[in-house]
Amino acid sequence: MKSGFQAALEAANGIDWVNRQLAFVVRWGLLANAVLIAGNAISRKFLGVASSTMYDVQPHFFAAAVLLMAAYALKRDEHVRIDVFSGFLGPRGMAWLDLAGITVVLLPLCLAAVWVTWPDFVTSFVTGETRAGRESLSRFPAWIMKGMIPLGFLSLAAQGAAEAIRCLAFLAGVAPRPLGAEHADRQGFA
Does the pLDDT at position 119 exceed 50?
Answer: yes
Question: How many CB atoms are located within 10 Å of the residue 26 CB?
Answer: 20
Helices (H), 43-141: 52-75, 83-86, 91-101, 107-127
pLDDT digit string, tens, across residues 168-189? 999 998 888 766 444 555 444 4
pLDDT digit string, tens, across residues 37-65? 888 888 888 888 877 667 777 777 778 88
Give phi and psi for 130, each to the nearest 5: -115, 175
Q: What is the dihedral of CA 141, 144, 150, 155, to 10 degrees?
A: 180
What residues contact residue 122 under an 8 Å CB cut-off, 6+ apart?
A: none
Contact predicate 71/19, CB 8 Å? yes
Paired residues of 130 in beta bridges: 141
Q: How far is CA 40 from the centre of its chain?
A: 27
Question: Rounded distance, CA 57 to CA 34, Å?
Answer: 12
Contact predicate 143/121, CB 8 Å? yes
Q: Is 141 helix (H, G, I), strand (E, B) or coil?
A: strand
Q: Let me know the angle formed at the C-alpha of 110 by 109 and 113, rounded to the nearest 5 degrees.
A: 85
Residue 151: band (very low, low, confident or very high) from pLDDT cuts 50, 70, 90: very high
Predicted confidence at residue 159, as pLDDT, reads 95
Give residue 103's identity as a one-letter amino acid code: T
Predicted confidence at residue 86, as pLDDT, reads 67
Residue 81: band (very low, low, confident or very high) from pLDDT cuts 50, 70, 90: low
- Nearest C-alpha neighbor of 9 from the set 154, 155, 176: 176
Question: Rounded distance, CA 68 to CA 152, Å?
Answer: 5
